Amino acid sequence: MLRAQKVRLYPNRHMAKVLDSLCDYRRYCWNKGLAIWNDMYDLHTIEHSNPRPSAYSVRNELVAAKADWQYELSARTLQLAIADLGKAWQNFFDKSLPDWGKPRFKSKRAPRQGFKTDRAKFVNGKLRLDKPRGTKIWYDIRLSKHVNLTGTLKVVSVYRENGQYWASLPFEVTVAAKPKTGESSAVDVNVGHLNYTGGVVNTLPKRLQRLYQRIKFYQKRLARKRVVNGKTATKSNNYQAMRAKLQRDYRKVTNIQHDIMQKFTTQLVTDYDKIVIEDLSVKKMQMAHVASKGLQRSMFGYFRQILRYKCEWYGKELVLADKHYPSTQRCSACGHIKSGNDKLTLQGNATHKTKHHEYVCYHCGVTLERDENAVANLLALI
């Protein structure tokens, strides 16, 4: 199994320039390779006798046209950039993917820039990158914390964001399966909380709500500065300082959300052998403006992603309910499914004047908690 650890890097001035040049070099290789790929693909569609482009052919074109300055940088940056470009083109022919589309050119104005290398290693607790031939001055990079994973280090991703440098360190490790408990659980995802057999997990605690208020305040101030000062607003020191505060709060929000999801999913795979969740179309749900912001903040997609790979790690079974399974409309007591004017909505039911959290079955007369009823219906699928 592959397990990754994210650490912050503290390079000196010389290595910071090296990291910046490698980030720019990967973007250059990607854009140059994408332009060549597009031309080869257009020729292939016009006349099929022309060879279909591949990562191998595009890489050979770039290597043959190398300039002198490119030999001063790591050759693995070019190789891995074209390999990722090949994967992106393979995904282009699979329309079932959620982010389906043709590969795009990368912008130097993007807030996040990075590169990859498969020749990094640890020396005395520091990260050492591969040194190009002929380079005399080279330093190891200090890490923010000790790496507690052991195993074979795979392709390392280094990126720069908001003036800070980070690295994702994936290790190939052996993960032992967790002991069997014989228990099963179902998880009903909602805006602001997750309901499961053992209780409720709050995904929007008060500390997150306070951070969102501060983010809203900073966004308003920055927008006002851009309206008043125009294009020169982003060059002022006050604008840069306030944007740094906004980015810092966004980072805090991400850390809190990931901490909640990681702890909850670990608890699920530890306590239960079978876990049932809904197969929701999160992208399509966010297209509606009713609860799109709440859906994004509740991180439904991230929850499903990490729960899936943790079940694979620890030998647990993940069951996906069908998208059209009426877990909310079905009565867990008698099996009756609401339809027509009896259906529950986000606001409840206007016809019968029931609240959002109430489920009243007009077939058997039972009154249930809406989320607990959905969990029971999902659990019945096992």
The secondary element (H helix, E strand) that includes residue 106 is: none
Beta-strand runs (E) in 216-369: 274-278, 317-321, 358-360, 367-369
Asked if residue 110 and residue 209 are part of one domain, the reply reads: no
Full domain range(s) for residue 293: 184-321
Find the angle CA(235)-CA(105)-CA(141) to the nearest 5 degrees.
65
Residue 262 near residue 306 (C-beta atoms within 8 A): yes
Cα 325 to Cα 350: distance, rounded to the nearest angstrom? 23
Asked, for residue 60, whether it belongs to a domain, the answer is yes
Asked if residue 236 and residue 102 are part of one domain, the reply reads: no
* Region of residue 315 (phi > 0: left; psi between -120 and 50: alpha; otherwise: beta): left
Residue 358 has pLDDT above 70, yes or no: yes
Q: Tell me: the pLDDT tens digits for 58-92?
A: 999 999 999 999 999 999 999 999 999 999 999 99
How high is the mean pLDDT of the chain? 89
Residue 56 has pLDDT above 80, yes or no: yes
Cα 125 to Cα 146: distance, rounded to the nearest angstrom? 7
Asked if residue 59 and residue 81 are part of one domain, the reply reads: yes
Number of domains in the chain: 2
Give the model's confidence band at 297: pLDDT under 50 very low, under 70 low, under 90 confident, else very high: confident
Asked if residue 144 and residue 73 are part of one domain, the reply reads: yes
Widest pairwise Cα distance in the chain: 81
Better-scored residue on pLDDT, 327 or 96: 327
Give the model's confidence band at 290: pLDDT under 50 very low, under 70 low, under 90 confident, else very high: low
Asked if residue 7 and residue 152 are part of one domain, the reply reads: yes
Residue 21 has pLDDT above 70, yes or no: yes
**Which of 115, 144, 172 delimits the end of a domain?**
172
Query: How many CB atoms sit inside 10 A of residue 323's CB?
Result: 10
Give the model's confidence band at 354: pLDDT under 50 very low, under 70 low, under 90 confident, else very high: confident
pLDDT at 287: 56
pLDDT at 146: 86
Q: Tell me: the pLDDT tens digits for 6-15?
A: 999 999 999 9
Asked if residue 161 and residue 16 are part of one domain, the reply reads: yes
Task: Give the three-state DSSP class for 136.
Answer: coil
Asked, for residue 198, whether it belongs to a domain, the answer is yes
Q: Tell me: the pLDDT tens digits for 195-234?
A: 999 899 999 999 999 999 999 999 999 999 999 998 888 8
Asked if residue 151 and residue 189 are part of one domain, the reply reads: no
Share of the chain above pLDDT 90, in %: 55
Residue 260 near residue 201 (C-beta atoms within 8 A): yes
Q: Tell me: the pLDDT tens digits for 162-179?
A: 889 999 999 998 888 899
DSSP 230-262: GGGGGGSHHHHHHHHHHHHHHHHHHHHHHHHHH
Residue 213 near residue 193 (C-beta atoms within 8 A): no
Asked, for residue 365, whether it belongs to a domain, the answer is no
76, with CB counted inside 10 A (0-12, 13-18, 19+), is: buried
Task: Give the three-state DSSP class for 142.
Answer: strand
Asked if residue 159 and residue 54 are part of one domain, the reply reads: yes
pLDDT at 48: 79
Give the model's confidence band at 356: pLDDT under 50 very low, under 70 low, under 90 confident, else very high: confident
**Which of 287, 321, 355 delimits the end of a domain?**
321
Q: What is the mean pLDDT of residues 105-114?
A: 92
Share of the chain above pLDDT 70, in %: 97
Q: What is the pTM of this model?
A: 0.81
Asked, for residue 378, whether it belongs to a domain, the answer is no
**Which of 152, 172, 192 delimits the end of a domain?**
172
Structure tokens at 216: 């809203």
pLDDT at 114: 96
Residue 289 has pLDDT above 70, yes or no: no
Contacts of 126 (CB under 8 A, 6+ apart): 140, 141, 142, 143
pLDDT at 291: 64
Helix 55-64, helix 75-92: angle, nearest 10: 150
Q: Tell me: the pLDDT tens digits for 269-286?
A: 999 999 999 887 666 665
Asked if residue 87 and residue 37 are part of one domain, the reply reads: yes
Give the model's confidence band at 364: pLDDT under 50 very low, under 70 low, under 90 confident, else very high: confident
**Which range (110-114, 203-207, 292-296, 368-372) has the least confidence?**
292-296
Asked if residue 38 and residue 89 are part of one domain, the reply reads: yes
Residue 372 near residue 333 (C-beta atoms within 8 A): no
Find the angle CA(258)-CA(263)-CA(265) to the nearest 5 degrees.
95
Asked if residue 307 and residue 189 are part of one domain, the reply reads: yes
Asked if residue 155 and residue 204 are part of one domain, the reply reads: no
